[in-house]
Chain A
Amino acid sequence: MMTIARPVCARHTFRAGADMKKVTLNIDGSDVVADEGMSVLEAALQNNIYIPHLCYCPDLPPRGACRLCIVELGDGQLVTSCRTPVEPGMVVKTKSPEVDRAVRPVVELLVADYHASCRGCPSSGHCELQRIMAHLRIDRRRVRRLRPPEDEKPLDTSNPCFDYDPNKCVLCGICVHTCEEIHGTGSLYFIGRGYDTRIAFFGDASRCESCMECVARCPVGVLLPKAQSQQ
C-alpha cells in the first residue's frame, strides 16, 4: 500500500493537553481519551483513528462543509464529527452500514468529478482525497456508473506565485478562510454559486502577499507553485 504524504493541514497540532479535563468516549469499540472541548474528529485523529475529511484544518474553525466526516452516534444519529464536541460515555461508529450508505456515494461523486484518474496529476501522492479513497476502498467500477463532467476549464495562471486548477478543486474553502482568518489579507474569494463556484482573486490580486499559506494547506493540491505546475 502506498504511503501518502499529507499536506500541511493533516499534520495535526492539537492543543496542549496536560491540564485540560479529560473525557473518555468509545470510538469503534475502543475507549479513547480526549480533551474536553475537542471535537469527535479531533479525538479520533489524535488517537490514530482516521475519519475522512477534506474541509477540516486544525487552526481554522470547523465548517462542516464537506460532510465526509459523518459518523454514527449510539442513538443512530448521523452527525459531522468535526462539529460535534466529545461527551463522556459517547458511543461513536466511524464505519457502519449507515455511515457507508451515506458517505461512500458522496466520495464517489467527488472522484467522478474530474478525479477519475490520478495519472499525471502533479499532486498525486500528496492528496487527502487519495487517502480517503484508500481508506474507503473506493471501487472505480462503481464510480464509472456516474456521468462524467462535461468541459474542462483552463488552468488559472493569473497569480504571480501559484496556479489554480478549477477542475480538481473540491471547494473545501480552506484557502479562502486561511487568507481571511489566518493571514488576514482576505483576497481569495468564492465566485459564483453551486456547481460552477470557483476560487478567484477577482480584482484584489494586489493584496496578495505571496505567503503561500493557501498553497501549503490545500488538501488536494490544486494550488501549485508556478514551478511545480508546469511540469
Chain B
Amino acid sequence: MPDKQRTVLVCQGTGCISGGAERLYSALEAEMARLNLGELAWMKYTGCHGFCQRGPLVVIEPDGIFYSKVKLDDVPDIVQSLLPGGRTVERLLYHDSVIDRPIFHYRDIPFYYKQQRLVLRNCGNINPEDIGDYLAAGGYQALPGALAGMTPERIIDEVERSGLRGLGGAGFPTGRKWDACRRAPGDEKYVICNGDEGDPGAFQDRSVLEGDPHSVLEGMIIAGYAVGANRGFVYVRAEYPLAIRRLGVAITQARERGYLGRNILGSGFDFDVEIFQGAGAFVCGESTAMVLSIEGRRGMPKPLPRPRTTEAGLWGKPTLLNNIKTFANIPLIINRGAGWFASRGTENSKGTAIFSLTGKVVNSGLIEVPMGIRLREIVYDIGGGIPDGRAFKAVQTGGPSGGCLPVELVNMPVDFDSLTAAGSMMGSGGMVVMDQDTCMVDVARYFLDFTRRESCGQCMPCRVGTKQMFDILDSITKREGKPGDIELLEELGTAVARTSLCGLGQTAANPVLSTIRYFREEYEAHIYDDYCPAGVCQAYL
C-alpha cells in the first residue's frame, strides 16, 4: 500500500453511531472518491475515542487535528482541507471555554492531555475490525514473547510484581488470583472474561471491546497459558450488539493468523475462545452467578463457605475470572515489564483507572487516568467543570455498590483504598458528577430502585431489605417520609450489609448510607421541613 499523506479517522463507537457516524463515514468516503483524493489521504474507522459528548468525531492524523460534532454538511469542507493548500475547518475544532481559542490538536485538549491512555491506547486510533492495525500498533508481540520465552510461573510473577489489581470492582490482586488458579489441581481449566458491565453509567468495557478487542484476546491467551487453561469465554451482555459483533470479527481473524486455536505459534499450547451473551441480570457479574448462567441456570450466587472459583468454578473446574480492562493491561505488562507498570499510580493501586465520566459535567466521556490523581483534576481539568455555572455538589463512584463523594473531598486522591475509606468504592468505574440541582435522596432512591430489581431473591435480607429501603426512600421523595425514617434506613442498611449472602446485597446500602452520611440535612429537609432543597422531587413543588 503506497504511503498516503494523511489518515482520516472516523469514530464508529456506539455513541457516535447514534449521532450519525455511519452515514458520515460513507459520505466522507464518497466525497473523497469523487475528488480523487487517492494519493493524499485514506480513511479508517475506529472505536471509541472517548470524548463521546463531542461526537461524531473525525481526527486527521498524523497532525492530530480534532473535529467534533461533525455533521453531513461538513463533509465537503473536511475533504477540501485535505487537498494541497487546504485549510483546517476552524468551526469544527474544539473550543476551550476558558482559553476561548480553538484548539487544533487533540493532544492539547485538556480532556486528553491529562489522561494516560494505556488500556485505551488503541481506541480511536486503529480499525478494530482489522487485525493488521492491531499488529502495526505493536499488538501480538507480548504473546509470542510469553509463549516462547517465559514459563507460566515467570509470567505470573511479572503480573504479581506489577501490582495490577482487578478492574472489575473488587480490586483483588490479579497475580495472586492467577497463581491460585495455576496451583489448583486439574487438567481442565477455564478462563472467563467478565464483560457483563451491568453498572448503570459505565461503558468502558463496551468501548474497549468495540475499539480494541484484540488487546483483550491477547491478555486472555497469555492468561490461559499461565494458568493452564485451554478454553475461554468472553461474557458480554446482550445489550452490547456492536461489541459482540466486533469481538466476533476479532476472534475469527485471530484464529486465521494462528493466535487462537491449536498449537499457537508452534508453542504446543492450545487455546480458543467463545462469546457468551449475558441475558440481563446484573447479579451475574458476581463470579459464582456468572458461572451458573454459563451453565444454563438461574444466576443465584453461592453462599460462603464455598470453594474459590479458581479452584472449582465453571462445571466444577478451576476457573480464572477477570474483567475486560484487567486483561487489556496484560500485553502492556508483558511487553514493558512489571517495573514500568508499577511506576505509575500509588503505593497500593498501581497503573491507571478507567472511568466513564458522565452526569453534570461539561466534557462527558471515557477517560483513563493514573491512580492517585486528585478528584478535582478529573472533574475540573479533564471534565471541564460543571455546565451552566451550576455548583458542584458530589461525585458518585462505583455505581449501585458505591457512594457519593461531596465537595469537601474534592482534593482526595482517587484509588482503590481512598475511595473505600470515604464510603464509596472503585467499582467498575462509573463516575457521575452531580450539581446543586441533584437531589441526593432521589439519587439514593434511584440506586435502590436498581438494586431491588436486580436482587436475585435468594436471601431474605437483600430480597425484602432492598425493597423496603426503596419503599422508604420512595415515600420520602413523595412527601410521605416519617420522623424516624433516617434512623430506620441506617438500621436496615447496616443489617442488610452485614447479613446478605453476596456482594450485591452487601453493598446495596452504600448509596443510602453515604448520602445520609454526607447529606443528612437534605433528608431532614424532606421529612421535617417539607421541602426538597434541590427542587427535584415533584411532590414538593
Residues of A in contact with B (beta carbons under 8 Å apart): 54, 63-68, 70, 78-80, 83-84, 101-106, 109-110, 112-113, 145-147, 170-171, 173, 190, 192-197
Is B455 in contact with A194, judged by CB distance below 8 angstroms? yes
Q: If A84-B305, A102-B495, A145-B484 touch, does A67 touch B461 (CB 8 Å cutoff)?
A: yes
Contact of A101 among B304, B482, B495, B501 (CB under 8 A): B495
User: Whose C-beta in chain A lies nearest to the C-beta of B499?
Assistant: A67
Q: Indicate whether B468 reaches chain A with its CB closer than 8 angstroms.
A: yes
Are A147 and B472 touching (Cβ within 8 A)?
Answer: yes
Q: Is B460 an interface residue (CB 8 A)?
A: yes
Please determine whether B499 and A170 come into contact, CB atoms closer than 8 angstroms.
no
CA distance A125 to B383 in the complex (A): 63
* B453 and A194 form a contact (CB under 8 A): yes
Q: Within the assembled complex, what's the spacing in Å between the Cα atoms of A146 and B496?
A: 15
In the complex, residue of chain A having the shortest beta-carbon distance to the beta carbon of B454: A194
Pair B495/A83 contact, Cβ less than 8 Å: no
Report B-chain residues with C-beta under 8 Å of the C-beta of A197. Answer: 457, 463
Of the A-B pairs whose beta carbons lie under 8 Å apart in the complex, a sample of 14, sorted by A's number, is A65-B460, A65-B501, A67-B499, A67-B501, A78-B499, A102-B499, A105-B491, A193-B298, A194-B452, A194-B455, A194-B457, A194-B463, A195-B464, A195-B466
Bound complex: CA A102 to CA B460 (Å): 12
> Does B471 sit at the interface, judged by CB under 8 A?
yes
**What chain B residues lie within 8 Å of A65 (beta carbons)?**
303, 458-460, 501
Q: Which residues of B contact A102 (CB under 8 A)?
A: 495, 498-499
A83 to B306, alpha carbons, bound, how many Å? 9
- The answer to whether B494 touches A101, judged by C-beta atoms less than 8 angstroms apart, is yes
Other than the given A83-B304, A194-B456, 10 more pairs (CB < 8 A) read A78-B498, A102-B498, A109-B464, A110-B464, A113-B464, A145-B482, A145-B488, A171-B457, A194-B455, A194-B466
B residues in contact with A103, CB < 8 Å: 495, 499
Please determine whether A66 and B459 come into contact, CB atoms closer than 8 angstroms: yes
Contacts of A105 in B (CB 8 A): 465, 491-492, 495-496
Asked if residues B461 and A64 are in contact (CB atoms below 8 Å), the reply is no
Closest to A62 in B: B303
Closest CB in chain B relative to A114 CB, distance in Å: 10
Q: Which residues of B contact A101 (CB under 8 A)?
A: 491, 494-495, 498
Shortest distance in angstroms between B415's beta carbon and chain A's nearest beta carbon?
28
Top 8 nearest A-B pairs by Cβ distance? A64-B303, A105-B495, A197-B457, A147-B471, A194-B455, A109-B464, A67-B499, A194-B457
Distance between A170 CB and nearest chain B CB, rounded to angstroms: 7
Is B461 within 8 A of A106, CB to CB?
A: yes
Report which of B458, B466, B499 forms a contact with A106, defined as CB distance below 8 A.
B499
In the bound complex, residues from chain B placing their C-beta under 8 Å from that of A196 are 457
* B323 contacts partner chain A, Cβ-Cβ < 8 Å: no
Q: Which residues of B contact A147 (CB under 8 A)?
A: 468, 471-472, 475
Interface size on B, residues (CB 8 A): 37
- B457 lies within 8 A of A67 (CB): no
A109 closest partner in B (C-beta): B464
Check B454 against A67 for contact (C-beta < 8 Å): no
* Cross-chain contact A110 with B460 (CB below 8 angstroms): yes
Q: Is the CB of A63 within 8 A of B303?
A: yes
**B488 CB contacts on chain A under 8 angstroms:** 145-146
B460 touches A109 (CB 8 A): yes
Q: Knowing A67-B459, A194-B455 touch, does A112 contact B499 (C-beta < 8 A)?
A: no
Q: Do B452 and A68 touch across chains, with their CB atoms under 8 A apart?
A: no
In the bound complex, residues from chain B placing their C-beta under 8 Å from that of A145 are 482, 484-485, 488
Interface residues of B in 433-485 (CB under 8 A from A): 452-461, 463-468, 471-472, 475, 482, 484-485
Name the residue among B459, B466, B484, B491 with the largest chain A CB count within 10 angstroms.
B459
How many Å from the CB of A23 to the closest CB on chain B?
Answer: 17
Nearest-Cβ distance from residue B219 to partner chain A, whole angstroms: 32
B527 to chain A, nearest CB (A): 13
Chain B 269-313 per-residue mask, 1 if CB under 8 angstroms from chain A, else 0: 000000000000100000000000000001000011100000000
Of B303, B305, B458, B471, most A-chain CB atoms within 10 Å: B458
CB-based nearest B residue for A66: B460
Evaluate contact between B460 and A106: CB separation under 8 angstroms: yes
CB distance from A194 to the nearest CB of B (A): 4
Q: How far is the CB of B263 from chain A (nearest CB, A)?
A: 43
Distance (whole angstroms) from the CB of A142 to the closest CB of chain B = 9
Whether a CB of chain A sits under 8 angstroms from the CB of B500 is yes
Report the minimal beta-carbon distance from B513 to chain A, rounded to whole angstroms.
14
0/1 string, B397-437, CB within 8 A of A gives 1: 00000000000000000000000000000000000000000
**A192: B residues at CB distance < 8 A:** 457
Q: How far is the CB of A141 from chain B (nearest CB, A)?
A: 11
Are A64 and B501 in contact, with the CB atoms below 8 A?
yes
Bound Cα distance from A80 to B303, whole angstroms: 9
Residues of B within 8 A of A109 (CB): 460-461, 464-465, 468, 492
Q: Which of B460, B467, B482, B496 has the most CB of A within 10 A?
A: B460
CB of B295, distance to nearest CB on chain A (Å): 16
CB distance from B479 to the nearest CB of A (A): 14
Docked pose: A106 CA to B469 CA in angstroms:
12
Distance between A39 CB and nearest chain B CB, rounded to angstroms? 11
Contact with A along B493-527 (1 / 0, CB 8 A): 01110111100000000000000000000000000
**CA gap between A190 and B457 in the complex, in Å:** 10
Report the minimal beta-carbon distance from A200 to chain B, rounded to whole angstroms: 14
Q: How far is the CA of A61 from the CA of B286 in the complex (A)?
A: 22
Q: Is the CB of B452 within 8 A of A170?
A: no
CB-nearest residue of chain A relative to B463? Answer: A195
Give the distance to chain B from A54, nearest Cβ to Cβ, in Å.
Answer: 8
From residue B461, how far is it (CB to closest CB) to chain A in Å?
5
Assess the B468–A190 pair: CB atoms within 8 A: no
With a cutoff of 8 Å between Cβ atoms, the chain B residues found around residue A80 in the complex are 303-304
A83 to B302, CA, bound (A): 12
Nearest CB of chain B from residue A127's CB, rounded to whole Å: 16
Task: State A83–B494 Cα separation when bound (angstroms).
Answer: 22
CA distance A65 to B462 in the complex (A): 10
- Chain A contacts for B453, CB-based, 8 A: 194
When the two chains form their complex, are residues A193 and B281 in contact, meaning their CB atoms are under 8 A apart? yes
Enumerate chain B residues within 8 angstroms of A171, measured Cβ to Cβ: 457-458, 460, 463
